[in-house]
Structure 1
């Protein structure tokens, strides 16, 4: 079975789309009357000179207040404040980010290009404004993911692995084709590395063994598919398990509930 590698518009390996496709992003304008402004985890701030700063803390609500960067400094005013909640299998991307990212927009015109329309939607509200605000915040998150990956903002984890051209090839292969019969040798060959070099480098960058990462990715997809109502047998096949029984054992060990139980009632995430 050939792996359907996805490419970006410039013909290079697309390292993020297969994960972004699985993200579920909920956006609330923290300036609205229905949202607590103290719960905002994305701010666009401007100081007295007009310089702007973008801050995003993809954190649990209980941890937001510990990050001083998230809140306006004495000479700053908040132009945008949003509460962004991210779930879904692709949340592994968010978990790989630093706890808080602060970017001076004067140094990142690529981010500024999408932040300016976001500011406009807040300061000059028009019909369809909430929908535009939602979608622009989603684009901001995607561009921050690119920024973190390209700037090496993560010390270890998924983004760190995706930043490595050879390890990224193996990760994208796993993400795009979880049902493939992957072996360590096959993944190493996909990365263009020796078996030992691949295993060591993958563990150092991602923080998990290649086969451990593969197993967790398959099971995360399986949980999402089951919660969406898909049949246990078809999920087992989709995710590359040799039989429904093998799938049930692995799923129960990971989540503490059988696939049939998860299909009837969503299991609690350990993240």
Structure 2
């Protein structure tokens, strides 16, 4: 089978924003060892990391569209990574600490990009180690389910069927459906509907017409799309757009 990328579409769709803060209110913390070298990373999608480590070199809030990003919602509450024996990760952590301390022009943009690289490394580590038991991260960690999930992410406008997705995963329909629910926590078609509505919300916020968004994601009518959107978000597309614009 051809190579595929489990993270790129998610990274393109959800922008990471970094705001340096004091430890105790952070979603990302870099701590130093006794010699001043980066030794560990603490990462939490819910924030509020509490730590008594006096050698904190960097702490920041990470905003990765928590209300809409399905990957962010599936992460463990706290990830603790030791990087003392990883020169590349240490070099990246040093660069982040230096950039934050220097506070030069463009630092905010540079920190966003550097922290995005760091988060990607953390996600790779989590998928490789299989830390997630259920949810999207667990699905992306599975070599069979991830092919179907990436197909949905990359081609949301395709008229996917459960049979199509099972074929992509290399599984029988019954085994695919059973495994998907067991690992991801919902049926393949339920996840596809949720993913399309997440993208639809983004497109509406960007200013796309309701009718165009409905057609883009396979809804037969604007009314049908509006009903599905309201069931998921508790408000119609027009109401949501007005709230964002207010």
TM-score (norm 1): 0.82
* Distance (whole Å) between structure 2 residues aligned to residue 199 and residue 167 of structure 1: 10
1:41: which partner in 2?
A: 27
Cα offset, 1:175, TM superposition: 0.6
Structure-2 change in CA distance of 1:162 and 1:110 (3 Å): farther
* Distance (whole Å) between structure 1 residues aligned to residue 67 and residue 11 of structure 2: 9
1:57 equivalent in alignment to 2:44: yes
Tell me the SS of whatever aligns to 1:38.
Answer: coil
Cα offset, 1:143, TM superposition: 1.6
TM-score (norm 2): 0.90
* Distance (whole Å) between structure 2 residues aligned to residue 148 and residue 233 of structure 1: 39
- Select the residue among 157, 160, 169 that pairs with 1:182: 160
- Select the residue among 19, 27, 37 that pairs with 2:18: 27
- Select the residue among 146, 167, 170 that pairs with 1:168: 146
1:15-164 alignment to 2 at 5 Å? 15-30=6-21, 37-48=23-34, 50=36, 52-59=39-46, 64=48, 70-73=50-53, 76-87=54-65, 91-164=69-142
* Distance (whole Å) between structure 2 residues aligned to residue 193 and residue 219 of structure 1: 26
Structure-2 change in CA distance of 1:238 and 1:169 (3 Å): same
Tell me the SS of whatever aligns to 2:84.
Answer: helix
Cα offset, 1:136, TM superposition: 1.1
Q: Deviations over 1:21-51 (max 9, x none)?
A: 1112221122xxxxx5532221111232556
Q: Greater RCO between the two (CA within 8 Å, min separation 6)?
A: 1
1:207 equivalent in alignment to 2:185: yes
**1:21–1:90 Cα contact (<8 Å) kept:** no
Deviant stretches of 4+, over 6 Å: none
Structure-2 change in CA distance of 1:228 and 1:89 (3 Å): farther
